[in-house]
Amino acid sequence: MTALLEVEGINSYYGDSHILFDVSLHVQRNEVVALLGRNGAGKSTTLKSIMGLLHPRVGRISLNGKAIDGLPPHAIAALGLQLVPEERRIFGSLSVEENLALAGITAKSRWPIERIWKMFPRLQERRRSKGTDLSGGEQQMLAIARALVRDPIITLLDEPFEGLAPTIVRELLATCRTLADEGRTLVVVEQNISAAMNLADRIYILNNGHVIEEMTGQEARERPAGLHRHLGV
């Protein structure tokens, strides 16, 4: 079966610094894939390479069988990939509603705002609040909602739970679980190992820019010692 997203032997650099070495992975439709590894392992660089924010010098990336490596980010987004960056990058001077409306302008298919409010009731309560007036957790909800409003075929989530209060993490984890149960395709980079294990159908472990192991989520839950060995947790 052809994968929805296929990454084949990519090598990515920041200037002269070689960051990713022959990284290969695949994501099937309706699958949740987690990328795990210590800080600096290359997880975020992998997402940036997929999204076209960084162009691999070697290797191939395809979406639905179409080569996307070398395309600019806006062209990749138009094909159905959405990245929720670690920095969130919401527009602080715009309201919640305005952030969502702006995100949906160029979408070929977009969620009705009522669907966003149902998934994120807190955003509905804050819909007229500016981005700068939101808490960190609310900003993360908005960053995820802004991606979802474009009805992506794959959503890339970079450290969605980092730095958030445990109650907010549980709330966002439940949202991601709902998305997974609805059959949405997710790729999650996460330091919260427990959260990733609870979400993922499959897990890739990266170390120093290399994929060193692939396992199913069930294998990780049944034999966590494998994760502990690689991640030092």
**Ranges of each domain in the chain:** 30-48+72-205+213-231
- Kindly report, residue by residue over 47-95, the tens digit of the pLDDT: 999 999 999 999 999 999 999 998 999 999 999 999 999 888 899 999 9
User: How many other CB atoms are there within 10 angstroms of residue 105's CB atom?
Assistant: 8
Round to whole Å and give the CA distance between 170 and 153. 24
Round to whole Å and give the CA distance between 203 and 25. 10
- Give φ, ψ of 10 to 5 degrees: -80, 145
Q: According to DSSP H, which parts of 79-192 are helical? A: 96-104, 113-119, 121-125, 136-148, 166-181
Helices and strands counted in the chain (H then E): 10, 12
Q: Which helix (H) or strand (E) holds 199?
A: helix 193-199
pLDDT in single tens digits along all 233 residues of the chain: 679 999 999 999 999 999 999 999 999 999 999 999 988 899 999 999 999 999 999 999 999 999 999 899 999 999 999 999 988 889 999 999 999 999 988 888 889 999 999 999 999 999 999 999 999 999 999 999 999 999 999 999 999 888 888 888 888 888 888 888 888 999 999 887 888 888 899 999 999 999 999 999 888 888 777 676 667 65
Q: Provide the greatest CA pair distance for the chain.
A: 47
| CB distance 98 to 47 below 8 Å | no
Superfamily of domain 30-48+72-205+213-231: P-loop containing nucleotide triphosphate hydrolases (3.40.50.300)
Q: Which two tokens stand for residue 221?
A: 């839950």
Record the pTM.
0.92
